[in-house]
């Protein structure tokens, strides 16, 4: 196997993309350390370089190719999504060896990895059950492959034993977990919540089409105090005609139903989303429908991406809209999303909320989370896992300031 070639060497790993990719890199580090390797944070000190790639949009692909070219004269290895679907493009700038993501899965003893601070990540599934017309990740990762429930529970237990507090459950579509095994994600979430210990689960990205079939059961599973009141629901568009061209498998009304079902039970729930602007054929009226859905659902923490044609996808055959138009719509959508973000944070001003310390980024302050996964910065050095109560005093949009009480 390719990983064996790195035995006993000094290795530098550079990672791009989603939480799933980040977890793969940490699992690779663990495998390499077991082979006597030394992981270094400086490429100039390494005998070999590993680039864990992402190619979700064209801009990311171009960045990957530039970075690979910079390491072309090194002993270079590549993993992640890009070598699975764009090896010809990679070979146009370098000639690396490939570490297939499946090799990382097979060689790793657990699907759980430690993240920064008090966080742990569990990869519950790879691939997806969707057929989105624009998505290259679907081509790279393939069909849904759910991890066995007991493997997930064992990974959570192991992370808790290592001192993790926040358990991040991740996959390309977490809500689809179990569809290939005759099981359902709400049951898995209840199983995780039933594990003894002090921790909280952050549920990862869930495709709205997968959520619609398990909605009532999923809302019920979120009632556990061990589950953050946080939902990542990538909507992509508020126009039914655009969603149909995207082959997303749901309507704007389905999205509203999901959001209303959660907010009825958890009024302060933080619901984040992703949107694509300028999908081929998107009219002004269709874009306005997207703005209206954003306002109606009050999504917080929104990722806005300009449509980018990806090779091998059905949408690649469609005519692109002008870049100027895609950019204008992206700016308009992001401006509205930021206003919603500010309004959401303002509702916490002057309130006292439970917080748990999960990460340290800047000396003299600590990143904490409240039950709705609000990013609360405490200007004090707190140990990971510290719990207390904080008065929210300041709004910085992407985080709020809290004072311990």
pLDDT at position 116 is 83
Three-state DSSP class for residue 386: coil
pLDDT at position 109 is 81
Residue range 87-103: mean pLDDT, rounded? 95
The structure tokens listed for 236 are 């992509």
Q: What domains can be seen in the chain, in order of their start residue?
A: 2-104 (3.40.50.12160), 110-346 (3.80.30.20), 352-404 (2.40.50.140)
pLDDT at position 117 is 85
Task: Name, in order, each residue with C-beta under 8 angstroms of 258's C-beta and a sequence gap of 6 or more.
Answer: 208, 211, 212, 215, 233
Q: How large a percentage of the chain has pLDDT more than 70? A: 100
Residue range 177-184: mean pLDDT, rounded? 97
Confidence check: pLDDT of 362 > 90: no
Three-state DSSP class for residue 287: helix
Confidence check: pLDDT of 361 > 90: no
pLDDT band at 110 (very low <50, low <70, confident <90, very high): confident
Confidence check: pLDDT of 33 > 80: yes
Specify the pairing of strand 366-369 against strand 270-277. Answer: unpaired
User: What's the CA gap between 298 and 291, in Å, rounded?
Assistant: 10
pLDDT at position 81 is 95
Cα–Cα nearest to 140, from 49, 249, 64, 232: 64
Long-range contacts of 26-34 (CB under 8 A, 24+ apart): 26/113, 26/114, 26/115, 26/121, 27/104, 27/105, 27/108, 27/113, 28/3, 28/52, 28/79, 28/99, 28/104, 30/108, 30/109, 30/113, 31/3, 31/104, 31/107, 31/108, 32/3, 32/6
Specify the pairing of strand 125-126 against strand 200-203. Answer: unpaired
**Per residue in 201-227, pLDDT tens?**
999 999 999 999 999 999 999 999 999
| CA pseudo-torsion sign 215, 216, 219, 221 | negative
Give the chain's mean pLDDT: 96
Confidence check: pLDDT of 115 > 90: no
End-to-end CA distance of the chain: 54
Question: 322: buried, middle or exposed (CB in 10 Å: 19+, 13-18, 0-12)?
Answer: exposed
Cα–Cα nearest to 11, from 75, 60, 69: 75
Task: Name, in order, each residue with C-beta under 8 angstroms of 195's C-beta and a sequence gap of 6 or more.
Answer: 153, 156, 157, 160
**Per residue in 233-269, pLDDT tens?**
999 999 999 999 999 999 999 999 999 999 999 999 9
pLDDT band at 360 (very low <50, low <70, confident <90, very high): confident
pLDDT at position 60 is 94
Confidence check: pLDDT of 277 > 80: yes
Laid out side by side, the sheet with 166-170 consists of 112-114, 119-123, 166-170, 200-203
User: What's the CA gap between 60 and 71, in Å, rounded?
Assistant: 17
pLDDT band at 40 (very low <50, low <70, confident <90, very high): very high
Confidence check: pLDDT of 27 > 80: yes
User: What's the CA gap between 267 and 229, in Å, rounded?
Assistant: 10
Three-state DSSP class for residue 402: strand
For residue 134, what are the CA distances in angstroms to 167, 174, 314? 30, 20, 7
| CA pseudo-torsion sign 242, 244, 247, 250 | positive
Confidence check: pLDDT of 1 > 80: no
Q: What does the buried/exposed string (b/e) look like for 41-52 if buried means 16 or more CB atoms within 10 Å of the residue's CB?
A: eeeeebebbbbb
The structure tokens listed for 144 are 């849904």
Report yes or no on whether pTM surpasses 0.75.
yes
Question: 268: buried, middle or exposed (CB in 10 Å: 19+, 13-18, 0-12)?
Answer: middle
Residue range 69-86: mean pLDDT, rounded? 96
> Which range (224-233, 280-289, 357-366, 384-393) has the least confidence?
357-366
């Amino acid at each position: 196997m390719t990983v064996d070639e790195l035995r006993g060497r000094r290795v530098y790993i550079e990672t791009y993309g989603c939480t799933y990719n980040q977890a793969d890199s940490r699992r690779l580090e663990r495998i390499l350390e077991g082979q006597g390797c030394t992981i270094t944070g400086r490429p100039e000190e390494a005998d070999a370089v590993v680039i864990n790639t992402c190619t979700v949009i064209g801009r990311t692909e171009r960045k990957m190719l530039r970075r690979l070219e910079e390491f072309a004269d090194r002993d270079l290895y590549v993993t992640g999504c890009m070598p699975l679907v764009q090896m010809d493009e990679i070979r146009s700038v370098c000639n690396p060896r490939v570490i297939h993501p499946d090799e990382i899965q097979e060689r790793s003893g657990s699907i759980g990895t430690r993240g920064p601070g008090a966080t742990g990540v569990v990869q519950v599934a790879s691939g997806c059950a969707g057929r989105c017309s624009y998505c290259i990740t679907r081509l790279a990762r393939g069909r849904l492959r759910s991890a066995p429930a007991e493997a997930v529970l064992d990974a959570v237990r192991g992370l808790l034993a290592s001192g993790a507090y926040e358990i991040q459950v991740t996959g390309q579509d977490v809500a689809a977990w179990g569809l290939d095994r005759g099981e359902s994600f709400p049951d898995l979430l209840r199983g995780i919540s039933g594990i003894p210990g002090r921790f909280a689960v952050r549920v990862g990205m869930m495709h709205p089409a997968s959520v619609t079939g398990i909605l009532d059961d999923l809302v019920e599973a979120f009632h556990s105090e061990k589950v953050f009141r946080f939902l990542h629901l990538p909507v992509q568009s508020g126009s039914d005609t655009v969603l149909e061209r995207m082959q997303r498998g749901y309507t704007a009304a389905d999205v509203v139903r999901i959001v209303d079902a959660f907010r009825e039970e958890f009024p302060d729930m933080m619901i984040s989303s992703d949107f694509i602007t300028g999908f081929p054929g998107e009219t002004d009226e269709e874009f306005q429908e997207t703005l209206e859905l954003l306002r109606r659902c009050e999504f917080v923490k929104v990722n806005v991406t300009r449509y980018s044609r990806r090779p091998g996808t059905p949408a690649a055959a469609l005519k692109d809209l002008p870049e100027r138009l895609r950019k204008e719509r992206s700016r308009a959508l992001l401006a509205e999303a930021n206003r919603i973000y500010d309004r959401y944070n303002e509702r916490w001003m002057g309130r006292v909320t439970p917080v748990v310390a999960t990460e340290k980024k800047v000396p003299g302050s600590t990143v904490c989370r409240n039950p709705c996964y609000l990013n609360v910065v405490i200007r004090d050095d707190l140990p990971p896992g510290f719990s207390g109560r904080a008065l929210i005093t300041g709004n910085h949009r992407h985080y709020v300031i809290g004072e311990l009480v």
